[in-house]
């Protein structure tokens, strides 16, 4: 998915994220287990809230916070606050949850209450200041925003917002001066020049704006919004009609086919003069909040990023890049259902809508709404039958859902659209199609595709593992198959699935001691995998460690194996293994692990 491009300047800022997050009173995103359920309750109704005591509302709010369900958490905290209106902790939690949910109007009301108690609350100051800017109370906005600073990141954001508030108040010169007075780390000038340039541009100072854009571009020509702002300015102000196109083309060489860059190329090649990147103080402030928020999302600053992105969208609700960044944030904390809601907000007219649709489909599938996901992706590919990203996403979903005939046909469509020469990327298509063919019992085709994948990308460990294991499982090409798996393990010694394949390969050729050695190593790497536990149980049985074998099988049973494997495992627990290996349940094990993998 395309969003903003991270660059050497913004990455340098991340060392200071901890200081910035300290400005957030309480964590916006609660710490949760590695695999949160993402099944938080539906948003509570008024009757739900009425039926709860204050303590009940508080406990429900804490649970919703753990589930990262900000909407429910905010509602329950506000309910608890109504029963105990002087409880400052409840007030603070209700405020932060409202910000996290994007209910900024409600957050403003709570922030104003907080500031009557604690005038130094920086996040409350920021939220009220952004609200003031939205409703064009520019003097009040500058006052509140100036009191929201704590550390270099918040200092930069506050300064940029203050500059935009000054512009909104009719003082463009003062806004630029405010930005220019800010001193700090080496990555400040990029943002200062970009936003000063945008203010100058809107105030009619085109020549000065161009100077600032050019300077920002020379600092970092890989930053998307700098590229866009500069190219748009060139399209209106440079006598050379190709100048803007050249800027877009330079970016396209660094990050091919970004939708916004493609749109710019189409417009400038047609000789069109493109409008400025922003058209108001509110849009400029939204751009500042988005720019920093998107950077923090990717670099461990999710708490502060969520605040900035929600405030950006409060100012500009349809900002497509802010929406994509917010959805990306939700995905990073394993909340696909929240990401789905955000992707659905991306405007149909945005060049980024297609990207949003692809990610939306992936998240819908993860939420077990697979038919909706497939329908969306088929719609995307109907519009562009050679859209490799959408075709790949569709094939991966079908493969993950074990629709092997379907995914084989889908990957074939992608292979037909491949451009020769990109061997590494093209190899993946043959590998995935080979999996689908092997699982749908078309071994000759599968073997040919696996060999083609290795021809395009020799020594790719997953392909070596899959093909080598398949040969050994069928009792053919045993020496070559074992060599392939060993080469895969050499490259990925800490990949439990590949180490498991080596152990199981030894088992299949009757070398049970080596099988035990490698399968124990695989268990160390992937202790919660039912198939590897099942494999180790089989190997233990063959070397006479029968009690340990039954323990491993019992563990495999408890780890929720594939439904068709469960009765086989239970039979082994009851009766052990027959001498001819016929009760082994794992013949397709490692290959099954690949069925649902998208990359």
Task: For the chain, give the mean pLDDT.
Answer: 89
241 phi and psi, to 5 degrees? -65, -20
| pLDDT score for 554 | 98
DSSP helix/strand/coil, 594: helix
* CB 347 within 8 Å of CB 254: no
Quote the percentage of the chain above a pLDDT of 70: 87
**How high is the pLDDT of residue 42?**
52
Residue 588 has pLDDT above 80, yes or no: no
Residue owning tokens 């550390």: 151
Nearest to 295 by CA among 308, 311, 283: 308
The token pair at 590 is 């490692």
- Given a cut of 60, whether residue 552 has pLDDT beyond it is yes
Query: In which band, very low, low, confident or very high, does the pLDDT at 563 lie, cut at 50, 70 and 90?
Result: very high
Runs of H (alpha helix) within 475-529: 478-491, 496-508, 512-525
Region 408-424 average pLDDT: 96
Task: With a cut of 70, say whether residue 596 has pLDDT above it.
Answer: no
Identify the band that residue 597 occupies on the pLDDT scale cut at 50, 70 and 90.
very low
pLDDT value, residue 213:
98
* Mean pLDDT value of segment 496-507: 96
Does 150 have pLDDT greater than 90?
no
The predicted structure's pLDDT at residue 152 = 87
> In this predicted structure, which of 186-190, 483-487, 496-500, 590-594 has the lowest mean pLDDT?
590-594
- What percentage of residues in the chain have a pLDDT greater than 90? 78
What's the rounded mean pLDDT across residues 557-580?
Answer: 93
Model confidence band, residue 405 (pLDDT cutoffs 50, 70, 90): very high
User: Distance of CA 154 to CAs 12, 30, 208, 286, 578, Å?
Assistant: 15, 21, 27, 15, 68
pLDDT over 70 at 41, yes or no:
no
Tracing tokens 């405030």 back to the chain, one arrives at 311
Q: Domains of the chain (ranges plus CATH)?
A: 8-25+121-269 (1.25.40.10), 344-458 (1.25.40.10), 461-595 (1.25.40.10)
pLDDT mean over 163-167:
98
The answer to whether residues 100 and 306 touch, using CB atoms and an 8 Å cutoff, is yes
User: Rounded CA gap, 569 and 549, in Å?
Assistant: 11
Phi, psi of 370 (to 5 degrees): -65, -40
Residues sharing a CB contact under 8 Å with residue 18, sequence separation 6 or more, in sequence order: none
Distances (CA, A) of 115 to 88, 239, 274: 11, 53, 43
Q: What is the pLDDT of residues 273-324, one digit of tens each?
A: 999 999 999 999 999 999 999 988 877 788 889 999 999 999 999 999 999 9
Identify the pLDDT of residue 239.
85
Q: What is the pLDDT of residues 216-275, one digit of tens each?
A: 999 999 999 999 999 999 999 998 889 999 999 999 999 999 999 999 999 999 999 999
pLDDT at 65: 78
147, pLDDT greater than 70: yes
- pLDDT band at residue 20 using 50, 70 and 90 as cut-offs: very low
**Which of 48-52, 157-161, 173-177 shows the lowest mean pLDDT across its residues?**
48-52
Residue 21 pLDDT grade (very low, low, confident, very high; cuts 50, 70, 90): very low
| Spatial contact of 348 and 365, defined as CB atoms under 8 Å apart | no
Cα–Cα distance for residue pair 138/125, rounded to 1 Å: 14
pLDDT (average), residues 430-457: 98
**Greater model confidence, 87 or 14:** 87
Q: What value does the mean pLDDT take over residues 522-526?
A: 98
pLDDT of residue 295: 86
Mean per-residue pLDDT for 80-109?
95
What's the DSSP call for residue 41? P
Report how far apart, in Å, the C-alpha atoms of 231 and of each of 221, 241, 277, 292, 426 are.
11, 11, 10, 21, 33
Q: In sequence order, what are the residues at sequence separation of 6 or more whose Cβ sits closer than 8 angstroms to the Cβ of residue 164?
A: 133, 175, 195, 199, 281, 282, 284, 285, 288
> 78-87, 279-288, 546-555: which has the minimum mean pLDDT?
78-87
Q: DSSP readout, 88-139?
A: HHHHHHHHHHHHHHT-HHHHHHHHHHHHHH-TT-HHHHHHHHHHHHHTT-HH
Instruction: State CA 127 to chain mean position distance.
Output: 26
In whole angstroms, give the CA distance from residue 290 to residue 590.
Answer: 43
Within a 10 A sphere around the Cβ of 117, how many other Cβ atoms?
12
Going by pLDDT thresholds of 50, 70 and 90, the confidence category of residue 580 is: low
What is the Cα–Cα distance from 599 to 596, expressed in whole angstroms? 9
Largest CA distance in the chain: 88
DSSP 8-class letter at 72 = H
Nearest of 467, 444, 448, 410 to residue 591 by alpha carbon: 467
Beta carbons of 432 and 394 less than 8 angstroms apart:
no
pLDDT digits (tens, 9 = 90+) for 359-402: 999 999 999 999 999 999 999 999 999 999 999 999 999 999 99
DSSP 214: H
Given this model, what pLDDT does residue 60 score?
Answer: 85
Query: 399 by DSSP, 3-state: which?
Result: helix
């Amino acid at each position: 998915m395309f969003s903003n491009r991270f660059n050497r300047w913004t990455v340098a800022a991340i060392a200071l994220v901890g200081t910035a997050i300290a400005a957030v009173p309480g964590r916006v995103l609660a710490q949760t287990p590695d695999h949160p359920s993402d099944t938080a309750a539906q948003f509570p109704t008024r009757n739900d809230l009425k039926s709860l005591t204050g303590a009940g509302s508080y406990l429900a709010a804490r649970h919703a916070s753990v589930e990262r369900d900000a909407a429910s958490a905010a509602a329950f905290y506000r309910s608890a606050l109504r029963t105990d209106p002087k409880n400052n902790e409840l007030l603070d939690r209700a405020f932060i949850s409202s910000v996290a949910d994007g209910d900024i109007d409600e957050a403003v009301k709570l922030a104003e209450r907080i500031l009557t108690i604690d005038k130094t609350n920086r996040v409350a100051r920021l939220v009220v200041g952004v609200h003031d800017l939205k409703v064009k109370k520019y003097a009040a906005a500058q006052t509140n925003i100036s009191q929201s600073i704590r550390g270099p990141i918040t200092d930069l954001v506050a300064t940029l917002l203050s500059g935009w508030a000054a512009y909104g108040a009719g003082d463009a010169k003062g806004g630029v001066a405010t930005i220019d007075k800010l001193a700090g780390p080496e990555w400040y000038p990029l943002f200062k020049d970009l936003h000063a340039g945008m203010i100058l541009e809107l105030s009619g100072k085109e020549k000065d704006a161009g100077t600032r854009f050019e300077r920002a571009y020379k600092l970092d020509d890989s930053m998307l919004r700098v590229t866009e702002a500069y190219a748009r300015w060139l399209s209106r102000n440079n006598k050379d009609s190709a100048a803007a196109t050249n800027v877009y083309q330079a970016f396209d060489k660094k990050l091919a086919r970004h939708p916004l860059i493609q749109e710019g190329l189409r417009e400038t090649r047609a000789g069109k003069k493109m409008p400025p990147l922003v058209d108001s103080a509110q849009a400029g402030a939204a751009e500042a909040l988005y720019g920093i928020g998107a950077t923090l999302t990717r670099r461990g600053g999710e708490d502060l990023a969520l605040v900035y992105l929600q405030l950006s969208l409060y100012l500009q609700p349809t900002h497509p890049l802010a929406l994509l960044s917010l959805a990306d944030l939700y995905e990073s904390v394993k909340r696909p259902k929240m990401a789905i809601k955000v992707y659905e907000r991306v405007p149909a007219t945005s060049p980024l809508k297609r990207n949003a649709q692809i990610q939306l489909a992936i998240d819908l599938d993860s939420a077990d709404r697979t038919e909706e996901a497939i329908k969306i992706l088929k719609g995307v590919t109907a519009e562009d039958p050679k859209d490799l990203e959408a075709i790949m996403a569709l094939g991966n979903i079908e493969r993950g859902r074990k629709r092997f005939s379907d995914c084989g046909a889908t990957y074939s469509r992608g292979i037909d659209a491949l451009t020769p020469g990109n061997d590494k990327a093209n190899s993946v298509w043959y590998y995935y199609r080979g999996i689908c063919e092997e699982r749908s019992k078309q071994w000759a085709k599968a073997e040919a595709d696996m060999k083609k994948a290795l021809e395009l990308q020799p020594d790719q460990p997953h392909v070596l593992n899959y093909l080598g294991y398949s040969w050994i499982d069928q009792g053919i090409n045993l020496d070559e198959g074992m060599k392939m798996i060993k080469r895969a393990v050499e490259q990925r010694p800490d990949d439990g699935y590949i180490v498991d394949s080596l152990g199981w390969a030894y088992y299949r050729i009757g070398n049970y001691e080596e099988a035990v050695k490698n399968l124990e190593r695989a268990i160390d790497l992937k202790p919660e995998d039912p198939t590897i536990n099942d494999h180790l149980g089989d190997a233990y049985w063959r070397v006479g460690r029968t009690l340990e074998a039954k323990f491993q099988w019992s563990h495999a049973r408890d780890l929720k194996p594939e439904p068709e494997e469960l009765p086989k495992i239970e039979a082994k627990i009851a009766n052990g293994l027959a001498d001819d290996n016929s009760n082994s349940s794992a013949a397709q094990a490692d290959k099954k692990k690949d069925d649902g993998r998208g990359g």
